[in-house]
Structure 1
Amino acid sequence: MKVISTPQEFNEDDLYVDLKAIIGRRLFLKCEGFNFAGSVKLKAASAMVEAAERDGLLTPDSILVESSSGNLGVALSMIAASKGYRFVCVTDSRCNLPTRLLMESLGSQIVIVTEPSRTGGLLGARIDRVRELCASDSRYVWLNQYTNPHNPLAHYRSTAPAIALAFPDLDVLFVGAGTTGTLMGCARYFRTWRRPVRIVAVDADGSATFGHTPGRRMIPGLGSGVRPPLLDTSYVDEVVHVGEAETIRTCHRMARHGFVFGGSTGTVVSGAARWLARQEQQVTAVAIAPDLGERYLETVYQTNWVQDLYGEEALEPQTVTATSPPA
């Protein structure tokens, strides 16, 4: 029997789904959404808050503030409620309504940015707003998931070792690219592991993370309007870009087999499936599923929303290409 006193103490870190029956190739999906925050972001949030407490940056009067498209905001909302901090989440119009309501139920204040900045899109506008808040009141503490070293360190110390223990013969690891905290933490760990592991980053079409021209992205989570400061492409062997219509199609395909995952997971699985389909030999492959699907019921899994934004394209295969990451 497991008994906890704070919600962040619980995280199921040893659950994998074999997707062979769904995608036609064996792919082990590491499920990171089975905790009270509902996503992999709980690890980074916990690590960043604990580091800020150790360093004396957080006091009882502090107000946590962070820019988030949703999942990290929920994780910080939960931790702030547990520890007694106030928390302000600066998000944008793409953040799902259930996610915003969940953060508010945990006592957080939500600031929604609707106009993109000239150079950084909605992400840049969110960061500008965070900086304005910090300048207005010294009680604000910005953990800054985009540059905070404890974001990737959380995955270097927990996520990657757990995968290595479960799959000692691992050949390839697929990781979605958002802030690139999960990607960099895992990639650095496996760079020094006892055997080579190919690191394939999965990014969304319209993301500028790996040097592409930024474009419209309606599904929150993966992708960025600017290059993430944490990213070091020397640790990445390949990059797969996935269109949002294909993300939706993959989410629906998994749901028809009883697995309702989030948009970020749909993107990662779609990219991994395309990459694996090109391989002539069987490989041991793991993909990280950042989230579950309940927060996407009004978007990715809502027929009218999908049809209005993507039309028939969401029901047809979309070409995905794998390239070497630019230096």
Structure 2
Amino acid sequence: MIHNTVLDLIGNTPIVRLRNLAVDNGSEILVKLEATNPGRSIKDRSALYMVEQAEREGRLLPAGTIIESTSGNLGKALALIGAVRGYRVILVVDPKVPASVLQFVKALGAEIEMVTAPDSSGGFQGPRIERVKSMCGENQDFFWPDQYNNPNNPIAHAISTAAEIKRGAGKIDALVSTVSTGGHISGISRALKDACPSLTTVAVDAFGSSTFGHAFSTYRMRGLGLAWKPENLDYSVIDCVHLVTDIEGIATSRLLARHEGIFVGESAGAAVFGALHYAHSHPGQRIVVVAADDGVNYLSESFDESWLRAHELAAVLDLPEYRDFKSLVAAALKPTCEPAEIGDILSVR
């Protein structure tokens, strides 16, 4: 098949069954591999939909400028779209963004605006957004997708990602997805629950994230977690929340590569760890995990032993429960943080 542009390749990502990182009780974990999108992540879907809606509404004109705050994947997606459709793309980033991401977007012609001063909690998300607001104030023609609050973000996943899961996996019992902007978990869960109200949706977040009202603390994993609740996150379509530690998530991503040949990022590792825990207590259920991106962004970090030791994450390498897939599956039975029902979390906020 011949496609008109590389953007036509967005979507229709494969679903793969885990063979080794699995619980031997008749449960089944299926992983939707969003890294096969041309920008290498699930953000390709929401980025394209948000841009196309802005084009239709006249908020993004030909040869216009797109600006966004990003820690990686949305920036890659917007840079790709800009290269194909002739838009100027400005990405507001911070020093934590991997060098490979910066190289990727620069190769596609995107411009980088670096924020170097963190907020009082040590985070960069707030300062990045403030820089975007300031630049948009000075340039009224800039289009800011605003991935955290743009309703077209979850709509994109309700339309495409959820439909593909229904078509590819058939009837499923549980959806496990990480929370970042709130876009993909909200959109996918809402659409799947419309078709199957008995579906259980497990939101996996970083231990240290404040998305669900927990006290904020630093964490190393990327692609999940925030210091606030994004507007796109719909609590009503989430059943329980599992906070996963850096060690649990990173160890799982590394073992997925070594024992399944599935090379995914840290957030996907966290989601699979959450799915393994869920599988232990739900025999015979079919569980779909959304793997948001691939491992290329993390080659010099969480896949690098020297980096892990330098950042006090040597337990990923040294503790017996994280050395092989059988030990990891067993460790998922008793995770660092037990999942909590969303109702219980909201009742104490």
TM bracket, shorter-chain basis: over 0.9
Corresponding residue for 1:262?
Answer: 265
The answer to whether the 8 A contact 1:248-1:263 is kept is yes
Corresponding residue for 1:323?
Answer: 340
Q: State the shift of 1:61 in Å.
A: 4.6
Q: 2:41 aligns with which of 39, 42, 59?
A: 39
Equivalence map 1:55-134=2 (5 Å): 55-118=57-120, 121-134=123-136
Q: 1:272 aligns with which of 228, 253, 275?
A: 275
TM-score in terms of structure 2 length: 0.89
CA distance in 2, matches of 1:119, 1:216: 8
Q: Which runs of 4+ in 1 moved over 4 A?
A: none
The answer to whether structure 1 residue 9 and structure 2 residue 8 are counterparts is yes
Give secondary structure in 2 for the equivalent of 1:30. strand
Shift in CA distance, 306/5, structure 1 to aligned 2, threshold 3 Å: same
Matched letter for residue 64 of structure 1: I
Matched letter for residue 19 of structure 1: L
Q: State the shift of 1:120 in Å.
A: 8.9
Matched letter for residue 22 of structure 1: L
Query: Quick one: percent identity of the two aligned structures?
Result: 34
The answer to whether the 8 A contact 1:89-1:109 is kept is yes
Matched letter for residue 247 of structure 1: G
Matched letter for residue 187 of structure 2: G
Give secondary structure in 2 for the equivalent of 1:20. coil
Equivalence map 1:137-286=2 (5 Å): 137-257=139-259, 258-279=261-282, 281-286=283-288
Give secondary structure in 1 for the equivalent of 2:219. coil
Q: State the shift of 1:194 in Å.
A: 4.2
For structure 1, the residue ranges without an aligned partner over 5 or more in a row are: none
Shift in CA distance, 154/319, structure 1 to aligned 2, threshold 3 Å: same
Give secondary structure in 1 for the equivalent of 2:307. helix
The answer to whether the 8 A contact 2:13-2:37 is kept is no
The answer to whether the 8 A contact 1:271-1:320 is kept is no
CA distance in 2, matches of 1:312, 1:267: 17
CA distance in 1, matches of 2:302, 2:158: 31
CA distance in 2, matches of 1:293, 1:189: 28
> Structure 1, residues 39-76: CA drift from partner, whole Å, max 9, x if none?
01000000000000000011235211001110000000
Q: State the shift of 1:14 in Å.
A: 4.4
TM-score in terms of structure 1 length: 0.95
RMSD: 1.6
Q: How many residues align?
A: 325
Corresponding residue for 2:56?
Answer: 54
